[in-house]
Amino acid sequence: MDRPDLIIRSSRVVTPEDIRPASVHIRDGVIAALGEWDEIVPPVSLTDAGDAVVMPGLVDSHVHVNEPGRTRWEGFATATRAAAAGGVTTLVDMPLNSIPPTTTEAGFQEKLAAARGQCFIDTAFWGGVVPGNTSELNPLLDAGVRGFKCFLIHSGVDEFPHVGEENLREAMPELKKRGSVLLVHAELPEPIEKAAEELKGENPRDYNTFLKSRPRESENKAVELMIRLCRASGARVHIVHHSSSDVLPLLKAAREEGLPLTVETCPHYLTFAAEEIPDGATHFKCCPPVRERENRERLWEALKMGVIDMVVSDHSPCTADLKLMERGDFLEAWGGIAALQFTLPVIWTEAQNRGFGLQEISRWMSEAPAKLAGLDKRKGKIAVGFDADMIIFEPEKQFKVVPEIIEFKNKITPYAGMNLRGVVEATYVRGIKVYENGRFFGDAAGNLLTKNYD
């Protein structure tokens, strides 16, 4: 065995096969070998994690960094610091809310220029499909986006317009040719417009009013449409932030049919319940909405069955004024939940209560999102040949979410005040320690993942 630069060992190392005592040998930022716990080649730099868990860093494929253009909402420096503190070693930035959006090759170059030199972790990028930009899709792929996001309903920002079936029938064959993936915000406008008519005069501070304004039918119909288009085009489709449990049997059938379809959900849908959200608590607002308790439990069931593949943050912050906290108006407030730093302890706390272990978490939060973004030859696993993106995690320790520990820019989050299980002690990106116990190390040395990453 060639001499490693660093060995990290623990009595609990999470690999795709098991959790076991092992030593992870790292050379040039890559996992060179997985040895027995006592297989140490002196002289070497050894980090002994004791009984703390060593597991793959998270790959968060759904983050809105919002820079350039809406840098008051978030930015590459703050987002990637929050990510590192939360055990995320790779994030994939969404194409909207930044100005310009990543819907043209020129827009992508502006984003790369903004990101360069600011990222504490490795960072990749999604492009966007909007009406009329089909000719930009190939140049965007050539420049290194990992795939594309689109909306079927107003996106919340005017510079990223939503697409209709006609636009998708044009774009999806292009994506199919390149083996690329289309990420879809799956809500259709008609049921929401109808609901708005019926809700006139109801109290906008009541969470139930908001819940009724984004009915399940809107998601159900959108998923039906995307299954049809996936079948017709053969292009890979990924449903982002899935919430409605009604349509899980349909998704299951589509998977069984062999369609190239994947599904994500988010920590808020797996944690909160509509029945418990206080009046006026607009920091819980996101679209599609957090639904009823019974819906939440069916999402957990779908994760267990493999109908939902992954859990990612959909970190989508904004400035405090846009949340209209004083008025508490759910219908007018910005929709988006900030949580990037807390997804692992949130999911670990909830998952443990339901009998899941760290291997499942690793599959949902590292392996599956890495695969979605085409990073799965180097990211998402502790295995020989993979980047040494790892965290030291104390699953039995607890902490409270207080503003002082929040690293993302705007400290408004529905997890505030919660006691969570699981503390990220240290985060390594390609074998370099970037974070340990509240401290950050070195320059922002994260790579921008724009090349083929094999």
Residues that bind Zn ion (CB under 5 A): 314
Count of positions (residues) in the chain: 454
CB of 324 to Zn ion, least distance (A): 20
Q: Cα–Cα distance between 189 and 51 in angstroms, integer? A: 51
Of 96 and 302, CB closest to Zn ion? 96
Name the helix (H) or strand (E) containing 368. helix 368-372
Nearest to 179 by CA among 143, 141, 152: 141
CB atoms within 10 A of CB 406: 21
CB of 314 to Zn ion, least distance (A): 4
Of 67 and 314, CB closest to Zn ion? 314
Of 373 and 429, CB closest to Zn ion? 373
Give strand pairing partners of 167.
none
Q: Cα–Cα distance between 86 and 106 in angstroms, integer? A: 32
**198 — phi, psi (to 5°)?**
-75, -20
Residue of this chain nearest to Zn ion (CB atom): 314
Q: Cα–Cα distance between 82 and 434 in angstroms, integer? A: 11
Q: Cα–Cα distance between 114 and 73 in angstroms, integer? A: 15
CB of 138 to Zn ion, least distance (A): 24
Direct distance between the N- and C-terminal alpha carbons of the chain, in angstroms, rounded to an integer: 23
CB of 63 to Zn ion, least distance (A): 8
At 398, list the tokens: 């607890």
CB of 241 to Zn ion, least distance (A): 6
CB of 277 to Zn ion, least distance (A): 19
CB of 64 to Zn ion, least distance (A): 6
Distances (CA, A) of 277 to 73, 139, 210, 382: 24, 44, 11, 38
DSSP H stretches of helix in 86-146 = 105-115, 134-143
Of 242 and 433, CB closest to Zn ion? 242
Of 314 and 389, CB closest to Zn ion? 314
CB of 95 to Zn ion, least distance (A): 10
Of 15 and 97, CB closest to Zn ion? 97
Give strand pairing partners of 435.
427, 440
Strand order in the sheet with 310-311: 127-128, 148-151, 181-185, 236-239, 261-265, 310-311
Nearest to 369 by CA among 14, 140, 90, 173: 90
